[in-house]
Chains A and B, each alone.
Chain A
Amino acid sequence: MIAHRRFECCDGVQAFSYNEAISFSRFRLAIMIVRRLRLTVLLSLVAVCLLAAQITSFRVAMAQPTVSLELGTPFAGQYVVGQWLPLRVTLRNQGLSAAMVTVTATPADSTIQYARTLRLAAQTQQSLWLYVFLAQPARAVFVTLAIDGLIVDRQEVALLLRPVERMRAVVGTSPVTSDLFAAGSLRVANLPDHHLGLSNLSVLALFELDGPLLAAQQTALLAWVYNGGHLIIGGGPAAIALQAALPPALQAATITGAAVIDREPVVTLGKSSLNTPLLGVKLAPVTGAQYRGDPAAPAWVEYAVGRGRVTQLAFAPEALAAWAGREQFWTALAQPVLFVATPAGASAQITPWQLQMLTPALDALPQIAIPAFAQGLTALTWYALAMVLLALGFWRWRRFAPAMSLLLVALISAGVGLWWANANAAPAYSALRMTLIEVIDSERAQAQTISVMLSAMPRTETMVFTNPVIARPFIIAGSDGSPGGGSESLAQMTTQLERQLAPWQTQALWTTALIPAPVVRSTLVVDQGRLRVDMQNDSQYTLRDVFVVYGDQLLFFGTLRPGARSVARWPVLFTPAAAGLSLGQLVIKDLQENGLLIDGDMEKAAQIRAALADAAVAALPTRFDPGPFVLAWLDRDPTVPVQPSIGSVETLLVMRPPIRGQGELSLPVGWLRLDPAGSEASPCLNGQGVQLSGEIAEIRLRLPPDLSSLRASAIQVRLSPAGATSNVNLALRAYNWVTGAWDAVAFNPLSTMTMTDAEPYLRFGEVRLRLSGGLDRLGCVVATGGVQGVLP
């Protein structure tokens, strides 16, 4: 029976006898077994492969870099809404080299992620700063650490909201026992390396350094002061070391020796008698700086840097340690220089105000030219006609008229149409790029750019920069600033950013970078009794529509090509500008009146340029800062390597030219300007002049800091009241700095008043006037003046 038993093999039914079967070689039997068991073998192989893969991946996992994350905040988590929180991140790698380590910080209740990516070598430690913009109050910031895209750690940094005026910090030991320096006592290592990291602070006192300041920290300090920070530098034995650690632009005085310091200014601020002698260094103010106390041994020197101030003390803070008035003194001295109230919150930096100035121009996106679709419609008409004729031609011989011929004509026409349409396609994307470049010293400039983008289709916009930038979404009206509601990661200190654009959602991005300052020299020089403006463009950019402005006075220089030099003397007489116009509007008015703003879309160009000029000057109604400024539009944006081909680009260069020279000087009316902060009156609603009320009011007129040492021989003052002056019995007195008395001055409200022998009335570039009479009827008063004298 066995011999006739039929065997079945794997390839179907294959019959063979037992005798035949035993004649198979062992090899054939093995083959047969394998073939019969091929599925099992296959599965076993797959299982072995999977096991091997798992073991390999386990080994790879074991060989992963072991990175630990350590976080720190220099101000103990205290922050101001609308500013940047600095986070100090320390990464330690105790494993293999990590190719892509990403640290990401996200404020609570926000979808914006601020990220930095770096390569971390094996067995190394690296520290970096991460800056988180806090657009709204947040209880914490979440920081995640990812290696090659895999999140390995997540930490939370608790935050504490503080008003900006209380955000004072001290490097070294606090001179007071109270929480005046509430933001804490810092070490040098805790000073951020970018000025945005200091933006929370209103005052920073630099009393003691426990290490050298890095170049990035020095630049950060300079940019922070330029934007409105108040830096107090200690004196005494540490003065030389402190001054040496700072960039030259922050040095308010030179140290010429040791001296017994004049205590009077200290006592005045401390409101308490100081009996012990105050020893310190002898300070010689630099040009534009103002001393306090005896000029031979001033207690401190104040120096305006941009919109901020450096206060350089002659004495060591410890010298007042036992003094009863020290709390009062330090409280009075360590006051914010700048206080800006914006809808986002109060700030001690000018940036939010500048951004507010730029906001009206954000909807001035350039128009895209309508493509010539009329030609396309004509072509379609011809196509339709051809099809009709073709069809009619086939009418009689339709039996032989293959449908394929119609199909062929249609496809060829469609192909040609597609080619033509693609060749002449209009962009579905429009962008506006506004860059404000402020020169902060001879080598560096800070660039702020707002890029507004609108796309009709989903789009990934890649932005490339010449220098590392820090960016944040800029929220504009009608947009939430986020890319379609999803989370968004913004890399920091990078030269390339990507942004996802959702259709028809206008999105704006604010970026800032420190760039090399364009080599443009501008100086106001005292020459033959008048001011002369020297402009020299040694940069690679063409400067268009160059203006030198002071207050409402504009001096137009036209276009300066690379290498060009231009000189102009300041006019003797200026017509007062129309009331209510901002400087930006005055600039645009001047350009339009001279036929220099004749671009295609003049209205939008004017809107953008006016906004940029206003942001550059950033005139605050409560602050004296009339300039002088140099405004120049660059032909290219230095912050990008390749100029964008779509949209419009406006780049404004802003500089503060110094006033140099000595000798006789005649400054026309308009140079002495109202100091709203020093006057006992509130600023007018239009930001120009002060609103006088009551029976007596004091106003102060001031020269720019560089002319503060001017000794006046004659002063002209012109009061321009908006209200009635008839039947108003006005009297004017001027403060005599020598006698301390208020001297009566003959005065006619309708004409310019001149004071001869005026030296006692001008000190530190300031004239104090007291008006009395029925001031309520005057309304808004604009006071300006001119000075003749000698600049020592």
Chain B
Amino acid sequence: MRAALREEWQQLIQRRRILLLFISTVLVMLLTAQRTGQLAGMATLAALPLLNAQIGRLFATSLCLALQGWVMLLSPLLAVSAYTVGLQSKMNLTVLVARLLVVWAVMILAIVLTLPFFSLLPLFGSLSLPEIGWAFAVIVVTVLLSGAYGVCWVTVVRNPPAALFLAYSVLMMWLVAGVVIAVWDTQPTSPVVVAVAFNPFAALLAPLAPAFPPDGPIAADLQNLLRFTHGVVDRATPLYRLYIAGSGLLILVLIGIASFAVRPQPRRWQRFDTLFSIVCAIYLVALGMGREWWSVALP
């Protein structure tokens, strides 16, 4: 396993497109920061209470959303890259797990490269550590989920361009469905809340939204954003808890599907299955025991 992991890592990290991934991630964050700075500059013309805090909230929201969108976009691409450079002949459960871990590691590395952008947030004095901590947790979970999602598609389809197309198509439908449900539904019933919570952008905004400013141009922008992500769901609802809990389950399901698809026939019970079953059981027990934590989001 260790050898497979090392080999997958070396294969992936030596590719120029990984360097491009890092550079583009930093540039995307820089552009976002510059654009937010322009918006903040315009907002300074208005006499708003605690304008610094409002700008800080806008800054944090923009950076988090940009990073979230970027990792969602890149993770399937990275998974496909890993597939095309990986050891096709040796494709087995060990390689699958190694590839998944490598994809996750590269994406986490990309996130770490963006930390200097987030380090400026205390300047505005309007974000608490739990708020930004939960936002980052959502981003990391999204990385894990989208990585597993990409690896699953490429493993099942085995045709990288087709897998990429399908992955992005389903992802797009997922996001659109979340927005449509949020905008059209008028009652925050449990299914609606679950659907909204599984919009990664809604989950990301959930820890930041309760302290959104109520008035002013910045507030209006943020409220418009919430209209598309949250809809009728109260912005104080901790949707991120539902998202994190559900994403863990979804990741396990995706790994299960990929592991089923990757093994040669006749398919037999292997040591991986025992470990995977134990992990699944532990996770389910943890979900059950921590029901109060994540079910708070449900009406």
CB A516 to nearest CB in B, in angstroms, measures 35
Q: Does B162 sit at the interface, judged by CB under 8 A? A: no
User: A457 to chain B: which residues have CB within 8 Å?
Assistant: 53, 125-128, 211
Chain B residues within CB distance 8 Å of chain A: 13-14, 16, 19, 22-23, 26-27, 29-30, 33-34, 37, 40, 44, 47, 49-57, 59, 109, 112-128, 210-214
Closest residue to A387 on the B side, CB-wise? B26
| In the complex, chain A residues whose CB is within 8 Å of the CB of B123 | 371, 373, 376, 420-421, 424-426
Instruction: Indicate if A369 sits at the interface (CB-CB under 8 A).
Output: yes
Contacts of B126 in A (CB 8 A): 428, 456-457
Determine if A574 is an interface residue (Cβ-Cβ < 8 Å). no
- Closest A residue by C-beta to B109: A403
CA distance A411 to B115 in the complex (A): 7
The reply to whether B22 and A369 contact each other, CB–CB distance below 8 Å, is no
Contact A417-B116, Cβ < 8 Å, known A367-B51, A370-B55: yes
Contact A388 B211 (CB under 8 A): no
Count of chain A residues with a beta carbon within 8 Å of a chain B beta carbon: 51
Residues from chain A with Cβ under 8 Å of B37 in the complex: 373-374, 377
Verify B121–A421 contact, CB threshold 8 A. yes
Q: Which residues of B contact A374 (CB under 8 A)?
A: 37
Q: Which of A356-407 contact B (CB under 8 A)?
A: 365, 367-371, 373-374, 376-377, 380-381, 383-384, 387-388, 391-392, 394-395, 398-399, 403, 406-407
- Per-residue 0/1 for A413-430: is the Cβ within 8 Å of any B Cβ (1 yes, 0 no)? 111111011101111111
Nearest CB of chain B from residue A480's CB, rounded to whole Å: 14
Tell me which of B50, B54, B122 contacts A421 (CB under 8 A).
Answer: B122
Q: Give A504 to B212 CA distance when docked, in angstroms.
A: 8
- Given contacts A399-B14, A456-B50, are A387 and B211 in contact (CB under 8 A)? no
Residues of B within 8 A of A391 (CB): 19, 22-23
Docked complex Cα distance between A176 and B45 (Å): 67
CB of A370 within 8 A of CB of B52, answer yes
Q: Is the interface of B mostly helix, strand, loop or mixed?
A: helix
Report A's interface with B, CB cutoff 8 A: 365, 367-371, 373-374, 376-377, 380-381, 383-384, 387-388, 391-392, 394-395, 398-399, 403, 406-407, 410-411, 413-418, 420-422, 424-430, 454-458, 503-504, 506
CB distance from A97 to the nearest CB of B (A): 41
15 A-B residue contacts at CB 8 Å? A370-B51, A371-B52, A373-B40, A376-B120, A380-B33, A399-B14, A403-B13, A407-B112, A407-B113, A413-B119, A414-B118, A417-B116, A426-B123, A428-B52, A503-B211
Task: Report the bound CA distance from A455 to B47 in whole Å.
Answer: 16
Question: Within the assembled complex, what's the spacing in Å between the Cα atoms of A563 and B126?
Answer: 45
Q: How far is A416 from B120 in the complex, measured between Cα atoms in Å?
A: 10
Tell me the minimal C-beta distance from A209 to chain B in angstroms.
53
Q: Establish whether residues A383 and B125, one from each chain, have CB atoms under 8 Å apart when the complex forms.
A: no
Contact present for B33 and A377 (CB under 8 Å)? yes
Give 4 nearest A-B pairs by CB, closest first. A417-B119, A456-B53, A414-B115, A428-B125
Measured between alpha carbons, how far is A417 from B59 in the docked complex, in Å?
A: 15
Among A370, A381, A456, contact of B211 (Cβ-Cβ < 8 Å): A456
Are B122 and A422 closer than 8 Å at their CB atoms?
yes
Q: Chain A binding site: helix, strand, loop or mixed by DSSP? A: helix
Residue of A nearest to B59 (CB): A373
Q: Which residues of chain B are near A403, meaning CB under 8 Å?
A: 13, 109
**Residues A383 and B116 in contact in the complex (CB < 8 Å), given A425-B123, A430-B49, A454-B49:** yes
In the complex, what distance in Å separates the CA atom of A632 from the CA atom of B245?
A: 62
Residue of B nearest to A419 (CB): B119
By a CB distance below 8 angstroms, the chain A residues around B125 are 371, 425-428, 456-457
B50 touches A380 (CB 8 A): no
Q: Is the CB of A395 within 8 A of B120?
A: no
Write out the residue numbers on chain A whose beta carbons fall within 8 Å of the beta carbon of B122.
418, 421-422, 425
B51 touches A368 (CB 8 A): yes
CB-nearest residue of chain B to A373: B123
> Does B19 contact A398, Cβ atoms closer than 8 Å?
yes
* A373–B50 CA distance with the chains assembled, in angstroms: 15
Contacting residues, chain A, for B34 (C-beta < 8 A): 377, 381
Given known contacts A368-B50, A407-B109, A428-B52, is B211 in contact with A421 (CB within 8 Å)?
no
Q: How far, in angstroms, from A380 to B63 measured CA to CA in the complex?
A: 13
B213 touches A395 (CB 8 A): no
Residues of B contacting A410 in the complex (Cβ-Cβ under 8 angstroms): 112-116
In the complex the two chains form, what is the Cα distance from A380 to B27 in whole Å?
Answer: 10
* Contact assessment for A458 and B128 in the assembled complex, using a CB-CB cutoff below 8 Å: yes
Q: Which residues of B contact A387 (CB under 8 A)?
A: 22-23, 26, 113
